[in-house]
């Protein structure tokens, strides 16, 4: 397989033929202006702007978290044809995988799985066993980041489910900005929302959500790297518990 200078596989097909957006000073200035003008708009209005401005080159990656499910719910009312995908590492909880079916039943939207090149069995065999407990950074790179780089290629913009109040890093996120890591426009319609607003909408609209949230898992990633948290612990304390790692590298 042909790789680019970062070791990321180059994909074939129609999408790769789409000219990528260039982060020229003029384009970055346009994004900053749009971001400012959308600062006080509702998430739905922000998503509508994103669809009007970038579809059909607008997509979304989701791990089926509460924020992601909220955006899927909104997209279903605005542009249900928006391609949405999930990084299927092979280590996700069954409860997470089942949400894909619930999205299909409720909204008629099919979330596409994007897989790493190697199956879990092949990956573990080539590494002499699982590496999530010894080298989670490399495991995340191989099973998530590499796949995401490939999946992002050819798109002009994607929706992100981050909220500014989730972390110091996320506090600086614009509504619309240039994603330097993945080289496309990143739109964060929930940037100004609180956790409570997300959960109020989930309850009011009966949006499907991961049942593990009711069992002490506020933040859910892959099964081997997620534990439940106790009262008073940080929301993300259950992710890569025992490691310094707090993010899989998708947002930082
Ligand atoms: S979250 Fe854990 S199992 Fe999943 S890719 Fe990262 S290190 Fe591997």
What whole-number distance in Å separates Cα of residue 191 and Cα of residue 112? 25
Which of 248, 249, 250, 251 is an active site residue?
248
Work out the percent of the chain whose per-residue pLDDT is above 70: 88
Report the chain's mean pLDDT, rounded to a whole number. 90
Window from 1-10, 81-90, 198-207, 211-220 with minimum mean pLDDT = 1-10
Pocket of ligand 1 (CB under 6 A): 89, 91, 132, 136, 139-140, 143-144, 221-222, 224-225, 248
Tell me what percent of the chain is helix, strand and coil, each rounded to the nearest 5: 40, 10, 45
Given a cut of 70, is residue 17 above it in pLDDT? no
- What is the reported pTM? 0.88
- pLDDT: is 249 or 234 the higher one? 234
Cβ(9)–Cβ(164) below 8 Å: no
Delineate the domains of the chain, giving CATH numbers in brackets: 21-195 (3.40.50.620)
212 C-alpha to ligand 1 centroid (Å): 18
- The question of whether 189 is a catalytic residue gets the answer no
50 C-alpha to ligand 1 centroid (Å): 30
pLDDT by residue (tens digit) across 40-76?
A: 999 999 999 999 999 999 999 999 999 999 999 999 9
> Whose alpha carbon is nearest atom 7 of ligand 1?
136
Q: CA nearest 161: which of 204, 206, 207?
A: 207
Given a cut of 90, is residue 250 above it in pLDDT? no
Given a cut of 60, is residue 10 above it in pLDDT? no
User: Residue 125: its pLDDT value, please?
Assistant: 98
- Would you state the structure tokens that stand for residue 171, as one six-digit string? 């506090």
Q: Where are the beta strands (DSSP E) in the chain?
A: 58-61, 84-87, 112-114, 157-159, 176-179, 184-187
What average pLDDT does range 211-225 have in this prediction? Answer: 94
Given a cut of 90, is residue 120 above it in pLDDT? yes
| 55, 58, 140 from 238: Cα distances, Å | 36, 32, 16
Residue ranges of the binding site for [4Fe-4S] cluster: 139-140, 222, 225
What whole-number distance in Å separates Cα of residue 24 and Cα of residue 21? 9
């Amino acid at each position: 397989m042909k790789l680019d200078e970062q070791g990321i596989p180059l994909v074939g097909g129609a999408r790769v033929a789409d000219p990528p957006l260039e982060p020229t000073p003029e384009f970055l200035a346009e994004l900053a202006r749009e971001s400012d003008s959308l600062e006080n708009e509702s998430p739905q209005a922000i998503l509508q702007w994103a669809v009007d401005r970038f579809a059909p080159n607008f997509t979304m990656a989701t791990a089926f978290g509460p924020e992601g499910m909220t955006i899927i719910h909104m997209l279903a009312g605005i542009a249900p044809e928006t391609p949405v995908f999930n990084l299927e590492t092979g280590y996700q909880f069954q409860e997470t995988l089942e949400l894909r079916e619930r999205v299909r039943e409720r909204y008629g939207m099919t979330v596409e799985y994007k897989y790493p090149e190697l199956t879990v069995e092949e990956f573990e065999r080539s590494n002499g066993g699982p590496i999530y407990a010894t080298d989670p950074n490399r495991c995340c790179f191989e099973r998530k980041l590499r796949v995401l780089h490939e999946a992002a290629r050819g798109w002009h913009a994607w929706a992100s489910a981050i909220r500014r109040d989730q972390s110091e890093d996320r506090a600086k996120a614009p509504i619309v900005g240039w994603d330097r890591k993945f080289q496309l426009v990143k739109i964060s319609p929930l940037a100004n929302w609180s956790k409570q607003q997300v959960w109020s909408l989930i309850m009011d609209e009966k949006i499907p959500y991961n049942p593990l949230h009711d069992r002490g898992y506020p933040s859910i990633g892959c099964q081997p790297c997620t534990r439940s948290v106790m009262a008073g612990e940080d929301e993300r304390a259950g992710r890569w518990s025992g490691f310094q790692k707090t993010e899989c590298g998708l947002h930082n």
